[in-house]
Amino acid sequence: MWRIKNIVLVFIALWVLLDSSSSSVSASVTYDGKSLIINGQRRILISGSIHYPRSTPEMWPDLIQKAKNGGLDVIQTYVFWSGHEPSPGKYNFEGRYDLVNFLKLIQQAGLYAHLRIGPYVCAEWNFGGFPVWLKYIPGIEFRTDNEPFKDAMQKFTEKIVQLMKSENLFQSQGGPIILSQIENEYGPIEWEIGAPGKAYTKWFSQMALGLNTGVPWVMCKQETAPDPFIDTCNGFYCENFKPNKANKPKMFTENWTGWYTAFGGPVPYRPVEDLAYSVARFIQNNGSFVNYYMYHGGTNFGRTSAGMFIATSYDYDAPLDEYGLIREPKWSHLRNMHKAIKQAEPALISAYPTVSWPGKNLEVHVFQSKTACAAFLANYNPDTSATVTFWNKPYSLPAWSVSILPDCKTEVFNTAKVVSKSGEAKMVPASDVSFSWQSYVEQTVSADDGDTLAMKGLREQINLTRDSSDYLWYLTNVNISPDEGFLKNKQNPQLTIMSAGHAIHVFINGKVSGTVYGSLENTRVTFSDSVNLVAGINKISLLSVTVGLPNVGLHFERNNTGILGPVTLKGLNEGTRDLTQQQWSYKVGLKGESLSLDTVNGASSVEWIEGSLLAQKQPLTWYKATFDEPTGNDPLAFDMKTMGKGEIWVNGQSIGRHWPANIASGNCGDCNYAGIFTDHKCGRYCGESSQRWYHVPRGWLKSTGNLVVVLEEWGGDPTGISLVRRQL
């Protein structure tokens, strides 16, 4: 009996020892109504979004270090399914998609990570992050209680979680990931579709929990988040947000630091006074986690941008600009605020605020415990400054501002008192680089060409391209009798083409006859113009162009693109001829794309023209040149001011779509930081190109002999292209 008792005791002792030793290496993340608790320590956390494929691995260490120096504790990123699984079961975790390396760099810098797996991400990313092949799984419906979709989502989510676990990247394994996210802003969709939405939420919650990551999960913008998921807030302001349970911390997963640029729109910016005000109000109202979306926005390389008409630059007016340079005064002003919040942290984590109202639009929040005290004094009036007396001391508060007193006595920061230096980065010509361009003009395709696909009627574009290219040729022939009255009276007939998007170049008998394009607000386009037709067969060649696939909205996978008709010809003897139902032929992509003209090998497959014969202002023209890397470390860009629309490649890597000919219109008037901010409130560059400069990552360059290839759809003057350095 005695022996058995002793063996049991020894066993228990060993178990306790083992258990405590394992808990000393394995960390834990929990939460309560106050904050996240990391290894037993409550934390007020400042986070920032950096999306790894929107920069290059060479840029990552510097971006992460600058984020750390700016006072961030956490880096937040989505996971980009379309980049990781470009075709079913073929995974890619290399280069810009080396997620593991990105997370390890975050860990090496001593920061935490928030991994938003989604896998739906929105994010102005093509198809919201979904690979386009997903749409073609039979019977699939996105983001609802649909078996094929759920199977695919589970497979990818598991793949990512397994990868993270195999690299010990969760905090529960000693890694940097303290939080994950499943889905993205599903609340509004669930509300709209009802029962299947609820069933889907239940399913993905259980699926995610079953993955046992050992760290909490969040669902953003989804009040229905079941326990233990934390529902979180996205927006420009979230001070009045309340999680759906009192035991969940109040978290701001997307505080938009600016907004994205659309081709055709101004470049949005958000004054730092207002951004800081939004953060301070959130923290004073018991918020304990704020993420800047974006802290570094970066670039939509290749054809990754979406939401339609989203520019290649995803600068976002973030504290780190597209090129990774510090944006002032934004970066420093926020860093100063983060210091103040850190000083206040002992009080913030040990007490709930008591609130008083010393006057209209004035509010005082005090966090006081036995050991610490911090106060926030706020003036919500957008028009006038105010003086607030707190603990017998007067504090002056500019309009629309919050002061932080980390010890309840000293104002160390006010959101509207910007002391940091400002200064805009400049684009300085890299005078050591010049280009000697060569051109190659593509012939227009016609319905009679051999390698086209003939079908009756008009077809949806993505069903044919599977998004392998922005371009789809719609080709048909129109027979004009010599008796047609218009041939004599010289009244050309009118061709009308209705398209679901996004742009059309119209060629008649091989000659360009016009171009139309939509916008972010209205992606549909109509071409309606008189066209020059001759007696006999006329070749109608319509190049339909997409500018990114949708990324948001109920069942965006059902969205149709391309020339769906009607297509009519008016002004003939018979009146109007409907071409919609006649035979059309199709060809996916441009010839230059199929020849891979963007690569060194491909480029040698055609004859290029140079010197005085260089093609200029001609549509469907490819240009190439070689250049040596400029000295130094300044980030580089192409100034494309004399070009129209197309795509640019450097050494075979696409730096994105260019469209400097799309001129910004919108609101570029005065912009006062005070008062409610909206995405349209503050804009720049109206009347100029929405995007003139295109980032050329240094990581893609060799010291000599770099190949640049430009596809120009519209017609441009390549001799005006220059390479510039971005300098502070």
Q: Is 254 in the site for ligand GAL (CB under 6 A)?
A: yes
> Phi and psi for 409 in degrees, rounded to 5?
-125, -35
The correct pick among 62, 185, 460, 484 for binding ligand GAL (CB under 6 A) is 185
The residue type of 549 is: L
For Cα atoms 362, 368, 374, give the angle at the middle one, nearest 5 degrees: 60
Q: What is the DSSP string of 412-464?
A: -EETT---S--B--EEEE-TT-----EEEEPPPP-TTSTT-EEEES---HHHH
Whether 254 is catalytic is: yes
The residue among 121 and 542 lying less far from ligand GAL, judged by its C-beta, is 121
CB within 8 Å of 3: residues ≥ 6 apart: none
The residue among 275 and 480 lying less far from ligand GAL, judged by its C-beta, is 275
Q: Is the dihedral of CA 598, 600, 605, 608 positive or negative?
A: positive
CB within 8 Å of 236: residues ≥ 6 apart: 255, 256, 270, 274, 278, 676, 677, 678
Size of the site for ligand GAL (CB under 6 A): 9
Site string for ligand GAL, 227-246 (x = CB under 6 A): -------x------------
Q: Taking the complex as a whole, how short is the minimal distance between the CB of residue 254 and ligand GAL, in angstroms? A: 6
The residue type of 58 is: E
Q: Catalytic pick from 85, 124, 239, 254?
A: 254
CB 375 within 8 A of CB 70: no
The residue among 307 and 562 lying less far from ligand GAL, judged by its C-beta, is 307
Site string for ligand GAL, 365-404 (x = CB under 6 A): ----------------------------------------
The residue among 73 and 254 lying less far from ligand GAL, judged by its C-beta, is 254
Q: Catalytic pick from 167, 185, 460, 484?
A: 185
Q: Taking the complex as a whole, how short is the minimal distance between the CB of residue 506 and ligand GAL, in angstroms? A: 33
Residue 442's nearest CA partner among 509, 510, 508 is 510
> Phi and psi for 440 in degrees, rounded to 5?
-140, 120
Q: What gap in Å lies between CA 646 and CA 303, rounded to an integer?
A: 11
Q: Taking the complex as a whole, how short is the minimal distance between the CB of residue 100 and ligand GAL, in angstroms? A: 23
Q: What gap in Å lies between CA 233 and CA 533, rounded to an integer?
A: 58
Of 38-77, binders to ligand GAL (CB under 6 A) are none
Neighbours of 467 (CB within 10 A): 20
Q: What gap in Å lies between CA 431 and CA 225, rounded to an integer?
A: 56
Q: Taking the complex as a whole, how short is the minimal distance between the CB of residue 234 and ligand GAL, in angstroms? A: 5
Q: Is 184 in the site for ligand GAL (CB under 6 A)?
A: yes
The residue type of 159 is: K
CB 140 within 8 A of CB 148: yes
The residue among 255 and 438 lying less far from ligand GAL, judged by its C-beta, is 255
The residue type of 13 is: A
Q: Taking the complex as a whole, how short is the minimal distance between the CB of residue 684 and ligand GAL, in angstroms? A: 18
The residue among 123 and 648 lying less far from ligand GAL, judged by its C-beta, is 123
Q: Where would I find the beta strands (DSSP E) of 1-73?
A: 29-31, 36-38, 41-43, 45-50
CA dihedral 299→300→301→305, nearest 10 degrees, is: -170
Whether 185 is catalytic is: yes
The residue among 184 and 561 lying less far from ligand GAL, judged by its C-beta, is 184
Q: Where would I find the beta strands (DSSP E) of 518-644?
A: 525-530, 536-545, 567-572, 575-578, 583-588, 609-610, 621-627, 636-639
Output the six-digit token pair for 447: 């319905």
The residue among 47 and 401 lying less far from ligand GAL, judged by its C-beta, is 47
Q: Taking the complex as a whole, how short is the minimal distance between the CB of residue 319 and ligand GAL, in angstroms? A: 16
Which residue is associated with the tokens 């039979």?
138
Of 89-128, binders to ligand GAL (CB under 6 A) are 121-124
Q: What gap in Å lies between CA 278 and CA 332, rounded to an integer?
A: 16
The residue among 129 and 271 lying less far from ligand GAL, judged by its C-beta, is 129
Q: Taking the complex as a whole, how short is the minimal distance between the CB of residue 185 and ligand GAL, in angstroms? A: 5
The residue among 77 and 284 lying less far from ligand GAL, judged by its C-beta, is 77
Q: Taking the complex as a whole, how short is the minimal distance between the CB of residue 134 and ligand GAL, in angstroms? A: 18
Residue 256's nearest CA partner among 242, 270, 266, 277 is 270
Q: Taking the complex as a whole, how short is the minimal distance between the CB of residue 263 and ligand GAL, in angstroms? A: 16
Q: Is 219 in the site for ligand GAL (CB under 6 A)?
A: no
**Helix (H) / strand (E) containing 147:** helix 147-166
Q: Taking the complex as a whole, how short is the minimal distance between the CB of residue 180 and ligand GAL, in angstroms? A: 15
CA distances from 31 to 41, 115, 350, 708 (A): 10, 17, 14, 51
The correct pick among 260, 301, 376, 435 for binding ligand GAL (CB under 6 A) is 260
Q: Taking the complex as a whole, how short is the minimal distance between the CB of residue 121 and ligand GAL, in angstroms? A: 6
Would you give the distance in Å from CA 105 to the centre of its chain?
A: 22
Q: Taking the complex as a whole, how short is the minimal distance between the CB of residue 488 and ligand GAL, in angstroms? A: 56
3-state helix, strand, coil in the chain (%, to 5): 25, 30, 45
Site string for ligand GAL, 6-25 (x = CB under 6 A): --------------------
Burial 508-518 (b: 16+ CB within 10 A, else e): bbeebbbbbbb
Neighbours of 166 (CB within 10 A): 10
The residue among 222 and 439 lying less far from ligand GAL, judged by its C-beta, is 222
The residue among 122 and 640 lying less far from ligand GAL, judged by its C-beta, is 122
Three-state DSSP state, 693: strand
Q: Is 225 in the site for ligand GAL (CB under 6 A)?
A: no
CA distances from 623 to 129, 184, 592, 610, 703 (A): 31, 41, 11, 10, 21
Q: What gap in Å lies between CA 14 and CA 575, rounded to an integer?
A: 95
The residue among 318 and 643 lying less far from ligand GAL, judged by its C-beta, is 318
Q: Taking the complex as a whole, how short is the minimal distance between the CB of residue 408 and ligand GAL, in angstroms? A: 36
The residue type of 613 is: L
Q: Is 713 in the site for ligand GAL (CB under 6 A)?
A: no
CB 727 within 8 A of CB 426: yes
Q: Which residue is nearest to ligand GAL (CB)?
A: 122
For the annotated catalytic residues, the residue numbers are 185, 254
Contact positions vs ligand GAL (CB under 6 A): 121-124, 184-185, 234, 254, 260
